[in-house]
Amino acid sequence: MRVARKPFNPKRFFRLVLLYLLAAGGAVVMIFPFLWMVSNAFKEHVFVIEYPPQLIPTHPSIGNFMRAWTSNNFQLYFTNSAVVALTSTFFTVLFSAMMAYAFARFKFPGREILFFAILLVLMVPDMITIIPKFVLIKTLGLRNSLWGLILVYIAGSTSLNTFLLRGFFEQLPHELEEAMLMDGAGYFTIFLRMILPLSAPALATVTIFSFLGHWDEFTWALTIIDDPLKRTLPIAIYSFQGQHGTEWGLVFAAMIIALIPVLIIFIALQRYFVSGITAGAVKG
């Protein structure tokens, strides 16, 4: 009887309106800084902070975007960031899936202690070891090399993703695996043909998170990259801000350019990523 279509109910209607207003209000707070960034990016040649501030530029211009894009090797920084983020994400996901498979589906001597060690180290921020890592990368001759970024990014996010994927892999049905074993399939086949396909949502989630993390990483890149031709976007923006400190419109234009690919990837892959979270992170 409750399921029947309800007649118009003013109380319910106003409650809904209120809810939408609240949600919209929250959304405004969340995106207001971005609106502000966009607004200022369209104001060219402004060297002082406007007071009172104007959200809608009086003479909107795309001059800042043109200047940012042309003056600073931005295309190169894009390529660098893309190469680093994609390469390290691929290996991160591969290695953590392999590790997670071992932890989730096998019993072997040292399993508990090893997993425990990984968890413990996971609790320690990467920054803690930045000084010795700097020394290590110097010894390996990988300063000013994108590989110096890639290797460290892989190591830095493999532990967490192992932890995340292990939880997911543990819940996959054992029957299928046993059936495949009976058919003579090896463990690598099982890993490739069964575990990975069944875990697509979880893999998508860790892929996106890793990619975003690697795309945005700042401190390590700042520390090991001096060569301007090896810069990734975050350090390029930092350096750009240092050069044009008072010309915020120009700086914001550069930031927006850097933000666009992230937005595209996020919006395009959002579905996978949310389903991944639902499937992976929530299940108790």
Three-state DSSP at 247 gives coil
Minimal distance, residue 60 CB to other proteins, in Å? 19
Among 32-40, 57-65, 172-180, which window interacts with other proteins (CB under 8 A)?
32-40
Q: Does 111 bind other proteins (CB under 8 A)?
A: yes
Q: Is 123 in the site for other proteins (CB under 8 A)?
A: yes
Size of the residue set binding other proteins (CB under 8 A):
139
Chosen residue from 63, 69, 82, 180 binding other proteins by CB under 8 A:
82
Interaction residues for other proteins, span 196-255 (CB under 8 A): 196-198, 200-201, 203-204, 207, 212, 215-216, 218-219, 223-224, 226-229, 233-235, 237-239, 241-246, 248, 251-252, 255
Q: Can you list the pairs that 79-83 forms with residues at least 24 positions away whose Cβ atoms lie under 8 Å?
A: 80/146, 80/230, 80/231, 80/232, 80/233, 81/215, 81/232, 81/233, 81/234, 82/261, 83/146
CA atoms within 13 A on the CB side of 91: 15
Can you tell me the distance from the alpha carbon of 259 to that of 233, in angstroms, rounded to the nearest whole number?
A: 10
- Pairs from 194-197 (Cβ < 8 Å, separation ≥ 24): 195/97, 195/101, 195/105, 195/169, 196/97
For the chain, how big is the Rg over CA atoms in Å? 24
- Helices 233-243 and 74-105 pack at an angle, to 10 degrees, of 140
Q: Does 23 bind other proteins (CB under 8 A)?
A: yes
Rule CB under 8 A: say whether 17 interacts with other proteins: no
Stretch that binds other proteins, among 56-64, 135-143, 172-180 (CB under 8 A): 135-143
Could you tell me where the DSSP H helices lie in the chain? Answer: 10-41, 63-71, 74-105, 111-122, 130-139, 146-170, 174-182, 187-190, 196-198, 200-216, 219-224, 233-243, 248-280
Shortest distance in whole angstroms from residue 66 CB to other proteins = 16
**Candidate residues 61, 63, 69, 143; the one interacting with other proteins per rule CB under 8 A:** 143
Q: Which of residues 249-278 bind other proteins (CB under 8 A)?
A: 251-252, 255, 258-259, 262-263, 266-267, 270, 272, 274, 277-278
Half-sphere exposure of 49 (CA within 13 A, CB side): 4
Residue 68 in the binding site for other proteins (CB under 8 A): no
Nearer CB in complex with other proteins: 43/146? 146
Q: Which is nearer to other proteins, 60 or 79 (CB)?
A: 79
Tell me which of 43, 44, 68, 162 binds other proteins, using CB under 8 A.
Answer: 162
64 binds other proteins (CB under 8 A): no
Q: Binding to other proteins by residue 144, rule CB under 8 A?
A: yes
- Picking from 127, 133, 168, the residue whose alpha carbon sits closest to that of residue 152 is 133
| Amino acid at the residue 168 | F
Task: Name the minimum Å distance from CB 173 to other proteins.
Answer: 13
